[in-house]
Amino acid sequence: MKAFFKEDILSDNELLGQFQQGSTVAFEALYSRYFPRLYQHAFKMLKDQDEAQDLIQELFTSFWIKGRELDLTTSVSSYLYAATRNRVLNLFEHNRVHDHYVSSLGEFLSTVEMSVDEVVIEKELAEIIESEIKQMPSKMREIFELSRKEDLSHKEIADYLAISDKTVKKQISNALKILRMKISYSLVFAQACIEFIN
């Protein structure tokens, strides 16, 4: 039989109030109440168990840090669901921008008419990305290159390397995280250089 705690019968707002007054137990009660629901909500959108779990864990980490200062104009439930959706959308956007840039860079170089200086900048960006890939741990690099250069599916990579789909997804996710910051900086730098040239 499940143990009964008084926090189980408190409302979300009551738990939030106690948490904001310093109650760790109240935070744990909100965590237990909402983690499974928010995880399912994120998983329906991401279709990836690890990403969904990491995302909700990060959400509650942020809630632990910032929650004591929150002055909600909506319910705790609405706030947490909205925060989950926003984090999922941000993740989609980051991955979409990154994947589009990596996959289209070669095509961009071959089809767009550019000045000599612009071509040099684009080649430098490509070299930066390749350098970052080469510095990845060997297994991560192998999986990432099979995915992005050989265009193999997660299952094909898993079968080829005799590892699980889950491992493939996690390694690609980690590789994207490593590249994301470098690419974001490089894109901003390149745009600034092109504007200066023009």
> pLDDT tens digit string along 108-122?
444 444 444 444 555
Tell me if 9-93 shares its fold with 113-197.
no
Q: Which CATH fold topology does 113-197 show?
A: Arc Repressor Mutant, subunit A (1.10.10)
Give percent of the chain above pLDDT 70.
Answer: 69
Residue 166, amino acid = K
What confidence category does residue 192 fall into, taking pLDDT thresholds of 50, 70 and 90?
Answer: very low
User: CATH assignment of 9-93?
Assistant: 1.10.1740.10
Whether the per-residue pLDDT at 138 is higher than 80: the answer is yes
Rounded to two decimals, what is the model's pTM? Answer: 0.49
Tally DSSP H helices, then E strands, for the chain: 8, 0
What is the spatial distance between Cα 151 and Cα 138, in angstroms, rounded to a whole number?
Answer: 18
Q: Under 8 Å CB-to-CB from 125, ≥6 apart: which residues? A: 105, 186, 187, 190
Q: Where are the alpha helices (DSSP H) in 47-148?
A: 49-66, 76-111, 116-134, 138-148
**Residue 3's pLDDT is what?**
42
Distance CA 160, CA 153 (A): 10
Q: What is the DSSP letter of 140?
A: H
CA-based nearest residue to 186, from 133, 134, 129: 129
pLDDT digits (tens, 9 = 90+) for 35-90: 999 999 888 888 888 888 888 998 999 899 888 888 888 889 989 998 998 888 87
**Which 3 state secondary structure label does DSSP give 11?**
coil
Distance of CA 18 to the CA centre of its chain: 31
Mean pLDDT of the chain: 75
| DSSP-derived secondary structure letter, 32 | H
Q: How confident is the model at residue 134 (pLDDT cuts 50, 70, 90)?
A: confident
* Domain coordinates in residue numbering, the chain: 9-93, 113-197
